[in-house]
Amino acid sequence: MMPRPNVVVFLADDLGYGDLEIYGNAALRTPHLNRLAGEGVRLNQHYSGSPLCAPARASLLTGRYNHRTGAISVESNRGLDRIALHEATIADVFKQAGYATGMVGKWHNGLHDMRYHPNNRGFDEFCGFLNGGMGYWDWVIERNSQPQHSDGTYLTEVFTDEAVQFIERHTHDPFFLYVAYNAPHNPLQAPADEVQPLLENDSINPAVATLYAMIQRMDSGIGRILDTLAARGLDDNTIILFTSDNGPWLGNDRLDGEVMSMARFNGPFRGMKQDVLEGGIRVPALLRWRDGLPANMEYHDMVHFTDWLPTLMAACGISTLPDLPLDGLNQLATLQGETGVVPAQRFWQYNRYDPVGQCNAAMRDGDWKLYWPRIPEAMVKLASDNEDYHQNMHRPHLLEPVANPPVARTLSEPGAPQLYNINDDPYEANDLSAQQPDRLNRMKTTLENWFETVEKERASLHLL
């Protein structure tokens, strides 16, 4: 009898569709991710659950739309990143099925309260940080609740080392390993000798060169982990998934105190991190399982973050579903080239603080996409909510009360909804709402009903 597959999920942070060599970026080199693509399945229509970090991760971890879980934004001091305690995570599911479960890297789904800690959300082992960001040279992380301060090692290497050691400890156990690198999320920091060759490219500025060096270092780490699996005889029956939490940040950022643009290649897509335009939610995905999937295959149907929990469960023969109904569907059969169910409809919505249904919202129905533009005032983060984030980059995890008082703001009226055919127009340049009024109205109603349903569920939660 074949042993149950192991699972390794790699999650990059703010890495866009165009930040990999295999998607047409000629400015950097990602040979190990290229190898994954050649040895597995490349998903060309793969979507995050949200255009922002914590909500996206909640969707991936639970198989449910992030609104249902309570994780609607990133402000840990308000508890808006937390996954409700009655939700089962993918680690809970695999642990219950007898897998050793480990997490390495960035959590950002509950801070300041041990009930929301990874070790209490299904992960037997955890090495990483709970904050939304961390420095790469001057860092403070924890191993199973015990703080560890920087020894000068580049943080991406620390996480790679931890992942390798987890695999070595559990060579003879079925395991589920979640490797959530914080690269290439800011701060923009990378070894100088790796940045320097990228600066020879006149088409990118020093900030983008540094970000590409961060991606290349992560790619090297992934290569070490793949090599460890091979050395232990585990690579044929280990499912590898690589993806990113959301699209890239293409606005301004700081490098050594200087403000620079992060504008760069992002494939044929408009928008960026925080947008429910394609550039904010359509993210790379590579899937390799030598014993169970074809090699060097491109997959063109829609796959959403919520699909991974039921799909990985099916691949590993786990039949006991979480108590709460999943929004995702098992897509294993179609990924294996067989006939299966491919969901036609998907939904997204994101703004700061209280969700606004006609702000930065979208739905797909087959090739068609309805898009409600941003309401500018609803996207603004209070400066006071950044203080906790910056403090937590320099201090060990601490327990403290959080509060989410109402945010006083006056919102502009929503803009008009837009309609696109994504198959014909992936850049979302040609609004067809005037030509397709009946379709527009049907999709508006469907999106409104979805939003009302998930918000009603969120309103019943007690996260503080």
Residues marked as catalytic: 53, 108
Phi, psi of 86 (to 5 degrees): -85, -5
Q: What is the DSSP string of 437-459?
A: HHHHHHHHHHHHHHHHHHHHHHH
Distances (CA, A) of 205 to 187, 192, 199, 216, 262: 16, 15, 7, 16, 8
Contacts of 177 (CB under 8 A, 6+ apart): 6, 7, 8, 9, 101, 102, 103, 104, 163, 166, 167
Which SS3 state, helix, strand or coil, does residue 285 take? Answer: strand
Q: Give the CA count within 13 Å in the CB-facing half-sphere of 307.
A: 24
Residue listed under structure tokens 């327990």:
399
Contact predicate 122/89, CB 8 Å: yes
For the chain, the distance separating the N- and C-terminal CA atoms, rounded to the nearest angstrom, is 47
Contact predicate 64/87, CB 8 Å: yes
Residues composing the chain: 464
